[in-house]
A and B are shown apart, each in its own frame.
Chain A
Amino acid sequence: MEHIKGIQIADLGFKLTRQGDLLYHEGPLLSHFRNEDNQDHYLYKWSDCNDIAHRWLVFKVSTENLKLFFETKCTLLQLIQNNPFVYFLDLDGEQHQTNLILTSTDKIPSDYLPSEKSFFKPKQSEKYAFELKDALFSAIVQAKAPENLETPLIQLNELIQKQNDLISKQNELIMLFFKSYPSLCTR
């Protein structure tokens, strides 16, 4: 498998629970997980394997961006590149972690990245992908209260803006960290 430049860590620091598979062929290839504490969405994208383990690219995705993906307005590649950092998780055949690396998104080996054509493809997707898509869209509809259609939508937009601001701040901090401690960025 490819060498990943990054920081080896012991665990993710949060508990993710598998919800279902978006892509599957004789095993999962793209799976949806949620953080048990705050319900954040994460995707596990199969990236590589050797005789011992399968390597998964683990990254966070916002509800809004996941919705854009299902609307084919953005690609899986863009969902990944929207993060300042991602995790590479190696799991053996019994699903035990053999390695976990936190890395800057721009250090992901090119062979591990989806193509620029990695749009949501209904024909190739699993039933769970459609269930998730329906759930995301119905959640947005619920946010629009019938008595006043504008106010909840404005609140939602404000929340999304605040979330984007926080992500930007987080990006700055992560990049500052990588620049300050370059020696930690190689294993």
Chain B
Amino acid sequence: MDYQFLEDFKKLSVACPPKHYKPKKMTVYRWVFDDIEAEQNFIPVFYTNPKKYFGKTDIEKCRGLALSLFATQADAEERFYDLQDGMGRKAYKVLGTHIATGDIDEQDGVNEEPNASGHFNHHPVKGHQYEKRFNIISKL
């Protein structure tokens, strides 16, 4: 696949995306900031905060090049409020302020299997234009 961050993957000593990540057609959910077309909403943390990855392993850098998604709206809400319980009311500053949803298919990239909290990483292809394909559906 023509991944958005293919050039970064090539610099890593581990397989990135990991081989167990698979393409899948599904409706997904993501924490975002208002407004949806803000470019930062679909940039992985490796690029929004690159200094965070100094000294980190290539496995962690690969995770940082993925987008965090959730399998259901309920998963996205539960995870947000559970984390906010621990972090305090400023959590929105790093997590997001709204939930957006969109449909992805086998051509959009590869996905990790959702974990117990419904979260999974997604490595997108170039030109995905998620900022135009996702819609905000609720406020956190």
Binding site for B on A (CB under 8 A): 23, 25-27, 29-30, 45-49, 76, 92-95, 110-115, 117-118, 121, 123-124
- Beyond A27-B49, A123-B116, whether A111 also contacts B94 by CB under 8 A is no
Given A25-B83, A121-B82, A124-B82: A49 and B88 interface contact (C-beta under 8 Å): no
A157 to B82 CA separation, bound complex (whole angstroms): 33
Instruction: Contact check, A118 vs B86: say whether CB atoms are below 8 A apart.
Output: yes
Give B72 Cβ to nearest chain A Cβ, in Å: 14
B66: nearest residue on chain A (CB-CB)? A26
B86 A113 Cβ-Cβ under 8 A: no
A45 touches B52 (CB 8 A): no
Judge if B84 is at the interface, Cβ distance under 8 Å.
yes
- Interface presence of B10 (CB below 8 A): no
| A124 and B117 alpha carbons, distance in the complex (Å) | 6
Given contacts A25-B95, A123-B116, contact A114 B85 (CB under 8 A): yes
CA distance A117 to B88 in the complex (A): 11
Q: Are A111 and B52 in contact (CB under 8 A)?
A: no
A27 near B52: Cβ-Cβ < 8 Å: yes
Q: Which of A23, A47, A94 is within 8 Å of B88, CB to CB?
A: A47
Q: Are A111 and B88 in touch, CB under 8 angstroms?
A: yes
A-B contacts at CB below 8 angstroms, number: 72
13 contacts between A and B (CB under 8 A): A25-B119, A27-B52, A27-B94, A30-B86, A47-B87, A76-B85, A110-B89, A111-B88, A111-B90, A112-B88, A113-B88, A114-B87, A123-B116
Residue of B nearest to A111 (CB): B89
Is B51 an interface residue, CB under 8 A from the partner? yes
Chain B interface residues toward A at CB < 8 A: 45, 49-52, 54, 64, 68, 79, 82-90, 93-95, 116-117, 119
Partner of A115, one of B45, B84, B119: B84
**Complex partner residue of A29 from B83, B117, B119, CB under 8 angstroms:** B83
Other-chain contact of A46, B45, B51, B87 (Cβ < 8 Å) = B87
Contact at A47–B86, with CB atoms within 8 Å? no
CB of B115 to closest CB in A, whole Å:
9
Residue pair A93, B90 in contact (C-beta under 8 Å):
no
Least CB distance, A5 to chain B, in whole angstroms: 17
CB nearest neighbor in A for B119: A25
A124 contacts across to B, CB distance below 8 A: 79, 82-83, 117
Collect the chain A residues with CB atoms within 8 Å of residue B93's CB. Answer: 48-49
Give CA–CA (A95, B54) in the complex, Å: 9
A114 vs B86: C-alpha distance in the bound complex, in angstroms?
5
Contact A49 B94 (CB under 8 A): yes
Closest 7 A/B residue pairs (Cβ): A93-B51, A26-B45, A111-B89, A115-B85, A118-B85, A124-B82, A48-B90
Q: In the complex, are the beta carbons of A114 and B52 less than 8 A apart?
A: no
Kindly report which residue of chain B lies nearest to residue A121, judged by CB atoms.
Answer: B82
Partner of A23, one of B49, B52, B68, B83: B83
